[in-house]
A and B are shown apart, each in its own frame.
Chain A
Amino acid sequence: MLAYIIRRVAQSILVLLVTGFVAFSMFSFVGDPIDNMLGQERTVADIARLREQLGLDQPFFVQYWRFLEQAAQGNFGLSYRQGRPVSDILIERLPATLELAFVSGLLALCGGIGLGIFTAIRKRGVSANVIMTLSLVGVSLPTFLIGILLIYLFSVELGWLPSFGRGEVTRLGGWTTGFLTESGLKALILPAITLGLYQMTLIMRLVRTEMLEVLRMDYIRFARARGIRERAINFHHALKNTLVPVITITGLQLGSIIAFAIITETVFQWPGVGLLFINAVQFVDIPVMAAYLMMISVMFVGINLIVDLLYFAIDPRLRVDRSAAGGH
């Protein structure tokens, strides 16, 4: 157990070091920072002085180490485009993304598990089949298209919900929230559905498959033979045993929700970090790109680590399997 945890943590650190390396290389290879900072009228002496000041005359790995030190303190320099510290901009934008991700994650989880159970129990029912077919359409429909179609229906045609922005937000210390105002909540609905729909279909299909698998097991048949009510079998005996893989996948999906938020935020002009990143890519704003990359990799690696450990804690059988199969 301990060896496993140590190995997983070491692996996570390796991932962070590699992404840090990628982020650092972006600075070194994409454009010369000296060009970005000094104007047209510069002397060779100016360049040399700045180069020394910034530590650019140091060996590659010394620079890499210094970058990691700075990054660990959340210092990524100034945005090329906005001229403000990248960390300030990120912190300002983060609440919007986290709120959106939280609501759509919740939606995906509740909707996915509910529909998954339904389609598994009513395997041959008409409505279950309709839902399954629709879910395939949902998987094929790109996120941005879902967003646009929702805007078209609910904002343009029906005029019920706003098509862009966060609505009115309330400041709570360093955090801005849209949960407390009516327009903030209204503005949240469409983006949350857009972002959550894909994950919801994934969770739904997963729950259904797992549930069908479990319902075939002997102990379920035995429970039926004992005359236990169908309801108790489905929810008490079967559902419990399907939740392990669901937790894992959902945890991992949390990471992709944050990544797919880039698309949703662009469609709805939602002022979060995803929109910031896509603008940075468009304008080649390297510090913002690097900082976003580092931030998101810390999140992903953290989530993966927690999910792995959780998985390990929930299912004792895995402790044996994993160490036996442990090729890497």
Chain B
Amino acid sequence: MTQTELRPKADPARPSRFSRAVNSDLFHSFRSNPVAVVSAIVVMVLILAAVFAPLVAPHDPFNPATLNLMNGFTPPGEANAFTGDFFVLGTDDQGRDVFSTILYGMRISLFVGFSAVLFAMVLGVILGLIAGYVGGWVETIIMRIADIQLTFPAILVAMLIFGIAKGITPPAYRDQMAIWVLIVAIGLSDWVQFARVVRGATLVEKNREYVQAAKIAGRSAFSIMLRHILPNVMNSVLVIATISLALAIIAEATLSFLGVGAPPTKPSLGTLISIGQGFMFSGEWWILIFPALTLLALALSINLLGDWLRDALNPKLR
């Protein structure tokens, strides 16, 4: 049985999508870079563990019915002195399994990180395309706002947005809204990077022949921006998105740690670290160290992947 029989529709001269992906330069560079492979595996494992947390986690840390206060402060890898229950990474003061809280916390961290980057990306790409393609006073306004925002560190902007949003939302909804406010705050603090790069690339692309041709063919500005220019600036956008993801996850953890992020009822990795810090002095190190290591592994491997992607997609940089 040959390949062509399995996929009768495929043109034999044209390799399948899959084999094209496997033989591409990008994949080759990926395979020959052990750091990238290891980081990709770590990221995949962590993401899968977070997505399937309800299946993977041995306990449901947010269901009070399953908690036993007697299990509190069980050290990792030892059976509890009273109940004899065993927890891989130990338990916190309320007897919650640290391993399970990390899985659920990572879910929130990753959700906020991905959503914030997506939000920043969509906003930044749209504004960047418009600024670069339309030009004139529209460009001046957009880029001036970007410049002003860039004067301030992103984390400060995010804190400020969070504070204002907290003031506007009624107290009863604050905990519910916190996650969404966090996404908007981090997203709004991060769109500038995308807008600047996309605008720069658009300025170059818009004078190319294919854009001129599309204009003559009567394409609307909207369709030229979206279907002709966007695909050509996507490489740089992807690189920034990967690096932004690591930054967004760190930003989320930082905000939550400072108490201006995810509420204790929905703890993210940052909230867990902040809880763990309280037990550091009394010797229950595992409540702090394991969430911290998870955050480090997540941020470091995404950063390394971003580094590799930047070099692979842009050989000129090396």
Q: Does A281 lie within 8 Å of B253, measured CB to CB?
A: no
Query: Does B127 sit within 8 A of A, measured CB to CB?
Result: no
A262-B258, A278-B258, A286-B167 as given contacts; A148 in contact with B273, CB under 8 Å: yes
A140-B246, A300-B152 as given contacts; A31 in contact with B167, CB under 8 Å: yes
How far does the alpha carbon of A262 sit from the alpha carbon of B143 in the complex, in Å? 28
Which B residues are closer than 8 A to A by beta carbons?
140, 143-144, 147-148, 151-153, 155-156, 159-160, 162-164, 166-168, 246, 250, 253-254, 257-260, 273, 277, 280-281, 285, 288, 292, 295-296, 299-300, 303-304, 307
How far does the alpha carbon of A289 sit from the alpha carbon of B67 in the complex, in Å? 40
Chain A residues with CB under 8 A of B156: 259, 262, 296
Chain B residues with CB under 8 A of A19: 148
How far does the alpha carbon of A262 sit from the alpha carbon of B157 in the complex, in Å? 12
Give 5 nearest A-B pairs by CB, closest first. Answer: A30-B167, A281-B163, A140-B300, A259-B153, A284-B167
Query: Does A136 sit within 8 A of B, measured CB to CB?
Result: yes
* A127-175 with Cβ < 8 A to chain B: 136-137, 139-145, 148-149, 151-152, 156, 163
Main secondary structure of the interface of B (DSSP, over half): helix
Q: Does B153 lie within 8 Å of A142, measured CB to CB?
A: no
Query: Does A5 sit within 8 A of B, measured CB to CB?
Result: no
Which A residues are closer than 8 A to B by beta carbons?
11, 14-15, 18-19, 22, 26, 29-31, 136-137, 139-145, 148-149, 151-152, 156, 163, 255-256, 259-260, 262-263, 266-267, 277-278, 280-282, 284, 286, 289, 293, 296-297, 300-301, 304, 328
Q: Shortest distance in angstroms between A246's beta carbon and chain B's nearest beta carbon?
A: 19
A30-B168, A284-B167, A289-B160 as given contacts; A142 in contact with B295, CB under 8 Å: yes
Determine which residue in B144, B160, B285, B303 has the highest number of CB atoms from chain A within 10 A of its CB, and name it: B160
Chain B residues with CB under 8 A of A15: 148, 151
Between-chain CB contacts (< 8 Å), 16 pairs: A15-B151, A18-B148, A30-B164, A136-B300, A144-B258, A145-B253, A145-B295, A148-B292, A259-B153, A262-B159, A266-B258, A277-B159, A280-B163, A281-B160, A281-B162, A300-B152
Q: Does A148 lie within 8 Å of B162, measured CB to CB?
A: no
Chain A residues with CB under 8 A of B143: 328
Q: Does A304 lie within 8 Å of B151, measured CB to CB?
A: yes
Q: Does A297 lie within 8 Å of B300, measured CB to CB?
A: no
Chain B residues with CB under 8 A of A289: 160, 163
Q: Does B160 lie within 8 Å of A293, measured CB to CB?
A: yes
Q: Does A278 lie within 8 Å of B159, measured CB to CB?
A: yes
How far does the alpha carbon of A139 sit from the alpha carbon of B296 in the complex, in Å? 10
Q: Does B296 lie within 8 Å of A140, measured CB to CB?
A: yes
Q: Shortest distance in angstroms between A150's beta carbon and chain B's nearest beta carbon?
A: 11
Q: Does A136 lie within 8 Å of B260, measured CB to CB?
A: no
Q: Does A301 lie within 8 Å of B151, measured CB to CB?
A: yes
Q: Shortest distance in angstroms between B135's beta carbon and chain A's nearest beta carbon?
A: 11
Q: Shortest distance in angstroms between A97's beta carbon and chain B's nearest beta carbon?
A: 14
How far does the alpha carbon of A143 sit from the alpha carbon of B250 in the complex, in Å? 9
Q: Does A29 lie within 8 Å of B168, measured CB to CB?
A: yes
Q: Shortest distance in angstroms between B159's beta carbon and chain A's nearest beta carbon?
A: 6
Q: Shortest distance in angstroms between B244's beta carbon and chain A's nearest beta carbon?
A: 14
Chain B residues with CB under 8 A of A281: 159-160, 162-163, 166, 260
